[in-house]
Amino acid sequence: MNCPQILVFFLLTCSAILLKLYYPQEQDGSIIVVEKNVGLNYGLLGDNLPSPSKVISFYKSIGITKIRIFDPNTEVLNALRGNTNISVIVGVKDQDLAALAAREEAVKDWFAINIEPYLADVNITTITVGNEVIPGPIGPHVLPVVQSLTNLVKSRNLPILISTVVDMSNLQQSYPPSAGMFKPQAREQLVPVLKFLSQMNTPIFVTIYPYFAFVSDPDHVSLDYAIFENKYPVFEDGLMKYTHIFDAIFDAFVWAMEKEGVMDLPMVVAETGWPSAGRGKFTTPRIAGTYNRNFVKHVESGKGTPKRPNSSIDGYLFATFNENQKPAGTEQNFGLYNPTNMKPIYKLF
């Protein structure tokens, strides 16, 4: 072999070894996909999104086993048929709540149209009634719809959880976490829902965005504290030490529930994330990637928060794609992937 031949041989061998390292092969030749513990929100407010069937194949290729959709979109649910190893949280649209709360028959019809056709081959694990509508004008409709849907799935023995998604605007106070308490309107609308969920042993779904806590008070909240990069506790709250604002927010909600007599109700993080653009130096791909990777690590560590050290975090990142039909600015830039070519905006997994 002359020199160029040796070089070619070396390059081919090396790249084959490298490929093997990066893409471990199963015996049948298919690529082994490492399953992720974290879920992804799949929003559809964009006019340049890939087709749902492409998106579902994509989830499989990156090992996503759980997703959340905001309404029972037929194209997405049809694309999920047969993919029962992807579990799905399906939302009831906010604008449907008033009609559903008015009549139990309307709930039965909603279920027959939107869920029933998919039960055989789509793994619908949860239905969430409304998205961040408590506290607010349609908040009072959540409980009756949660109750009707719960009765319906129980009477049919279906393993579907019925819950709702709420945000941290329910908290009157959140610092220190042990001072966490709900606002008066949240007490009216949320506490009866929490009590019902508690009886059913169904988790409450919450959205937690350290990003908003940070941008609303950057003088007092450090970036490292907000993006899980801080190394030492920032403060102590009784015996609990807080290093990350995510944990402090989560625990403030737990304390607020306990003050209402709701003990041990599991909390699932329906959304968290960080925008990669839209607001200058604090919204870059580097910072967004750091926050999201650290959140994934938190989930994968199996560790909880200081108040709930023994229960791991169950959570969904927001969101799969940048969505260009959301309000301009940061809202359009929470995606992990570029919708037009499905390339990552930063390295996550």
Ligand X SMILES: *[C@@H]1O[C@H](CO)[C@@H](O)[C@H](O)[C@H]1NC(C)=O
Site for ligand X in 226-255 (CB under 6 A): none
Site for ligand X in 107-136 (CB under 6 A): 123, 125
Minimum CB separation of residue 90 from ligand X in Å reads 13
Instruction: Report the residue closest to ligand X, judged by CB.
Output: 87
Site for ligand X in 9-48 (CB under 6 A): 33, 35
The helices-and-strands tally (H runs, E runs) of the chain is 11, 12
3-state SS assignment for residue 125: strand
* Cα distance between residue 52 and residue 164, in whole Å: 24
Minimum CB separation of residue 62 from ligand X in Å reads 8
Minimum CB separation of residue 250 from ligand X in Å reads 14
Minimum CB separation of residue 124 from ligand X in Å reads 9
Residue 310 within binding range of ligand X, rule CB under 6 A: yes
Minimum CB separation of residue 24 from ligand X in Å reads 14
| Choice between 39 and 275, CB closer to ligand X | 39
**How far, rounded to the nearest angstrom, does the alpha carbon of residue 104 sit from its chain's CA centroid?**
29
Paired strand residues for 165 = 131, 205
Instruction: Show the site string, 75-104: x = touches ligand X by CB under 6 A, - = not.
Output: ---------xx-x-----------------
**Catalytic pick from 188, 258, 271, 323?**
271
Residue 330 within binding range of ligand X, rule CB under 6 A: no
Cis peptide bond prior to 135, omega within 30° of 0: yes
Largest CA distance in the chain: 83
| Choice between 60 and 187, CB closer to ligand X | 60
Q: How many residues bind ligand X (CB under 6 A)?
A: 14
Site for ligand X in 126-185 (CB under 6 A): none
Minimum CB separation of residue 280 from ligand X in Å reads 36
Let me know if 116 is a catalytic residue: no
Residue 264 within binding range of ligand X, rule CB under 6 A: no
Site for ligand X in 54-73 (CB under 6 A): 60, 63-66
* Cα distance between residue 29 and residue 134, in whole Å: 50
Residue 309 within binding range of ligand X, rule CB under 6 A: yes
**How far, rounded to the nearest angstrom, does the alpha carbon of residue 8 sit from its chain's CA centroid?**
47
| Choice between 125 and 340, CB closer to ligand X | 125
Q: Tell me the one-letter amino acid at 17.
A: I
Q: What is the dihedral sign for C-alpha 225, 228, 231, 235?
A: positive
CA distances from 25 to 19, 56, 59, 336 (A): 10, 22, 19, 26
CA distances from 246 to 15, 105, 256, 298 (A): 42, 41, 16, 10
Let me know if 300 is a catalytic residue: no
CA distances from 71 to 29, 93, 94, 206 (A): 37, 6, 9, 17
| Choice between 155 and 310, CB closer to ligand X | 310
**Catalytic pick from 132, 229, 258, 331?**
132
Spatial contact of 272 and 209, defined as CB atoms under 8 Å apart = yes
Calculate ∠ Cα 181-315-200, nearest 5°.
65
For the annotated catalytic residues, the residue numbers are 132, 271
Question: Given the rule CB under 6 A, which residues bind ligand X?
Answer: 33, 35, 60, 63-66, 84-85, 87, 123, 125, 309-310
